């Protein structure tokens, strides 16, 4: 998915300009204001799909790392069975 987005971004950057493509991908600028709006609309839609996915992945990683750093007791020892029966 990211490779496809990268290829689409490079193609847009070549045809529409790098700054304009960046702005379109992040929904800062309208795709209609580019020299090749058909391609820019596809980049804009892809940006709506990819950007939240990347942000969610980063947030998930940060939260997992934070929880892992705070965990002091091993989960297996916390739920270990007693020999009492």
Q: What is the pLDDT of residues 1-30, one digit of tens each?
A: 789 999 999 999 999 999 999 999 999 999
Distance CA 25, CA 48 (A): 8
Cβ–Cβ under 8 Å, residues 38 and 12: no
Q: What is the pLDDT of residues 29-69, one digit of tens each?
A: 999 999 999 999 999 999 999 988 989 999 999 999 888 77
Distance CA 73, CA 43 (A): 47
Among 39, 31, 48, which Cα is nearest to 15's? 39
Side-chain-side CA neighbours of residue 14 (13 Å): 6
Question: If DSSP codes are grouped into helix, strand and coil, which group holds residue 28?
Answer: coil
For the whole model, what pTM was predicted? 0.66
- Predicted pLDDT of residue 81: 72
């Amino acid at each position: 998915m990211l490779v496809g987005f990268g290829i689409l971004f490079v193609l847009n950057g070549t045809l529409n300009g790098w700054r304009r493509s960046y702005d379109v991908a992040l929904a800062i600028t309208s795709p209609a204001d580019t020299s090749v709006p058909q391609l820019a609309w596809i980049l804009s839609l892809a940006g709506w799909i990819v950007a939240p996915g990347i942000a969610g992945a980063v947030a998930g990683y940060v939260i997992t790392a934070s929880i892992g750093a705070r965990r002091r007791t091993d989960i297996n020892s916390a739920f270990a069975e007693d020999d009492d029966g």
